[in-house]
């Protein structure tokens, strides 16, 4: 080979190495984008809220099949989880994110079996018996179970809200944690229509301790993707919007060893992750104070305050009446909450396609809210700061006997503003 040919080959190798480095830097830059959640097949391995699929593989006579090969596949991401039966024909695949699953089973001398339509919910443990028929392995048997299976292997129980339910159910302030109020066995310190008295419950107002179970209000426990998610006063630390939550589960019994750390409700949340299909959502919730109605007793109090202060002509008559309307006449908080979310396979044109293995999820939240109220405060005038309090209103009637007997006749009495000077 000529020196010119060797020189060209050297340039080619150098360019290839340079492109590999640049491609790696692009991957790192893509993964480091602000606010992007990257998920891989192992992303759920440490997450509480993940589920388990197990079962026993037998033949048509009921005898267990040892060494049968299984592939448990997430139908949304096409991520494969291989497994095999042990000496008792049992298999188990754990750390599975909630979602739809298929199971493919094969063993020499038996027809292949494909079980589809399996729905795994948060914290669920599904036991699925699988039976193989004798035959050639090139033959396939497909069983479609299009209904959710009963969770018979775990002591964990409670209401599970799926992704679709969280997206479609209306909730005050776009805070899905409030949906615990409608779960069986959950008791609330406020009514299910709490927004009629206060349109609070927003994502960051920290009102998520106002429910419980067994009469224990406000001692709940929260987890998000396996990590504790609560503040020092047992409120929910981070309240995701409905478009950021994958599933939610409300445990009220605590029979399972994985929960039961409190006498209250154990709230498990999983965050959304990308799938092979590109999905997104945009949501806007506008809640002005004047659109909400006062509850019965708040209305009585408001009208009482108006009558007491002579505000029969409305709030525009004087500043005091306007302050009463702001404090008692508006039932809640003015809020304008918007969010957007997008998830799917990571993809860089001509460089990388993350289908079946590498996904992203990104979301943005705009939480704008403002409350109203009034407060009266007094500060000393310039004259009073020099020690001259003669401009304070004097009281001329109902002067206490203790004052008149202790002070010379004609001494001014300022009532609640009376100043006492202690001799050194």
Q: Tens digits of per-residue pLDDT, 219-232?
A: 888 888 888 888 87
**pLDDT reading at 350 higher than 60:** yes
Residues 138 and 56 occupy one common structural domain: yes
Q: At which of 144, 162, 192 does a domain end?
A: 144
Residue 132 lies in a domain: yes
396 in any annotated domain: yes
Q: Looking at the structure, do residues 27 and 61 belong to the same domain, yes or no?
A: no
Residue that is last in its domain, among 144, 166, 196: 144
Residue 74 lies in a domain: yes
β-bridge partners, 365? 339
Same domain, 102 and 130: yes
How many residues appear in the chain? 424
Residue 25's pLDDT band (cuts 50, 70, 90): very low
Asked if the structure places residue 184 within a domain, the reply is: no
Cα–Cα dist 9/285, whole Å: 61
- Shared domain for 10 and 82, answered yes or no, is no
Residue 33 has a pLDDT of: 40
Instruction: Report whether pLDDT(238) > 90.
Output: no
> How far is residue 93 from each of residues 52, 53, 238, 270, measured CA to CA in Å?
6, 5, 30, 19
Q: Is 21 a residue whose pLDDT tops 70?
A: no
For 81-121, what is each residue's pLDDT tens digit?
A: 999 999 999 999 998 988 899 999 999 999 999 999 898 88
In a domain, 91, yes or no: yes
CA 303 – CA 150 distance, rounded (Å) = 54
Q: Which residues contact 359 (CB under 8 A, 6 or more apart)?
A: 38, 39, 40, 77, 273, 274, 275, 276, 343, 344, 345, 346
Q: CA 385, 388, 391, 396 torsion: positive or negative?
A: positive
Residue 40 is predicted with a pLDDT of 44
Q: What is the pLDDT of residues 148-196, one digit of tens each?
A: 566 665 656 677 888 888 878 877 667 788 888 888 888 877 655 444 3
Indicate whether 139 and 56 sit together in one domain: yes
- Residue 422 has a pLDDT of 56
Boundary residue ending a domain (144, 164, 182) = 144
Q: Where are the beta strands (DSSP E) in 29-89?
A: 36-39, 51-59, 69-74, 80-84
Q: Most confidently modeled of 133-147, 348-362, 383-397?
A: 348-362
The pLDDT score that the predictor gives to residue 153 is: 59
pLDDT in tens, 194-219: 443 344 444 444 455 678 888 788 88
pLDDT above 60 (res 318):
yes
pLDDT of residue 54: 93
Give the phi and the psi of residue 240 in degrees, each rounded to 5: -75, 155
Task: Please state, as a whole number, how many other Cβ atoms lie within 10 Å of the Cβ of residue 310.
Answer: 11
On whether both 21 and 84 belong to a single domain, the answer is: no
| pLDDT, the chain, mean | 76
Pick the more confident residue, 40 or 127.
Answer: 127
| Domain residue limits at 79 | 51-144
CB atoms within 10 A of CB 135: 13
395 domain residue, yes or no: yes
* pLDDT for 154: 61
- In a shared domain, residues 66 and 10: no
17 pLDDT band, cuts 50/70/90, is very low
Assigned domain for 110 exists: yes
Q: Nearest Cα to 290, choosing from 326, 317, 316, 319?
A: 326
User: pTM surpassing 0.75?
Assistant: no
Query: Is the domain of 8 the same as that of 56?
Result: no
Question: What local confidence, expressed as pLDDT, does residue 43 receive?
Answer: 40
Shared domain for 68 and 21, answered yes or no, is: no
Phi-psi region of 169 (alpha: psi -120 to 50; beta: other; left: phi over 0): beta
| In-domain check, residue 331 | no
Question: What percentage of the chain has pLDDT greater than the value 70?
Answer: 71
How many domains, in total, are found in the chain? 3
Confidence class for position 346, pLDDT limits 50, 70, 90: very high
Other Cβ atoms closer than 10 A to 35:
9
pLDDT value for 51: 87
If asked whether residues 19 and 64 sit together in one domain, one would say no
**Residue 145: per-residue pLDDT:** 65
Please answer whether residues 392 and 354 qualify as being in contact, where contact means their C-beta atoms are separated by less than 8 angstroms: no
- 80 and 140 in a single domain? The answer is yes
Residues 27 and 104 in one domain: no
CATH number where 118 lies: 2.60.40.1120
């Amino acid at each position: 080979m000529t020196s010119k040919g060797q020189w060209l080959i050297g340039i080619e190798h150098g360019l290839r190495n340079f492109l590999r480095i640049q491609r790696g830097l692009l991957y790192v830059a893509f993964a480091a984008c602000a606010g992007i959640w990257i998920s891989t097949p192992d992303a759920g391995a440490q997450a509480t809220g993940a589920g388990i699929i197990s079962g026993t593989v037998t033949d048509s006579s009921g005898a267990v099949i040892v060494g049968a090969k299984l592939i448990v596949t997430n139908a949304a991401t096409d991520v494969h989880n291989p497994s095999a039966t042990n000496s008792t024909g049992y298999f188990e695949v754990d750390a599975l994110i909630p979602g739809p699953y298929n199971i493919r089973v094969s063993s020499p001398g038996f027809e292949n079996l494909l079980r589809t339509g399996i729905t795994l919910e948060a914290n669920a443990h599904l036991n699925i018996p699988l039976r193989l028929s004798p035959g050639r392995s090139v033959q396939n048997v497909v069983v479609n179970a299009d209904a959710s299976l009963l969770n018979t292997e775990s002591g964990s129980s409670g209401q599970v809200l799926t992704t679709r339910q969280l997206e479609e159910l209306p909730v005050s302030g776009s805070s899905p944690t409030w949906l615990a109020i409608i779960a069986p066995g959950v008791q609330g310190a406020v009514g299910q229509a709490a927004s009629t008295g206060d349109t609070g419950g927003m994502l960051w107002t920290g009102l998520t301790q106002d429910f419980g179970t067994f009469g224990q209000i406000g001692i709940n426990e929260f987890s998000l993707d396996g990590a504790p998610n609560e503040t020092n006063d047992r409120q929910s630390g981070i309240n995701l919007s409905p478009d950021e939550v994958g599933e939610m589960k409300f445990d009220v019994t605590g029979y399972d060893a994985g929960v039961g750390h409190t006498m209250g409700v154990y709230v498990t949340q999983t965050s959304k992750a990308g799938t092979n299909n590109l999905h997104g959502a945009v949501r806007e919730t506008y809640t002005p104070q004047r659109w909400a109605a006062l509850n019965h007793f708040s209305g009585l109090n408001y009208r009482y305050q108006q009558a007491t202060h002579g505000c029969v002509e409305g709030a525009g008559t004087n500043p005091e009446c306007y302050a009463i309307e702001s404090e008692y006449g508006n039932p809640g908080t003015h809020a304008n909450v918007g969010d957007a979310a997008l998830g799917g396979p990571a993809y860089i044109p001509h460089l990388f396609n993350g289908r079946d293995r590498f996904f992203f999820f990104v979301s943005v939240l705009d939480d704008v809210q403002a409350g109203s109220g009034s407060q009266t405060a007094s500060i000393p005038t310039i004259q009073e700061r020099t020690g001259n309090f003669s401009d304070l209103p004097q009281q001329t009637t109902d002067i206490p006997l203790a004052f008149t007997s202790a002070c010379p006749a004609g001494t001014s009495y300022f009532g609640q503003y009376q100043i006492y000077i202690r001799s050194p």
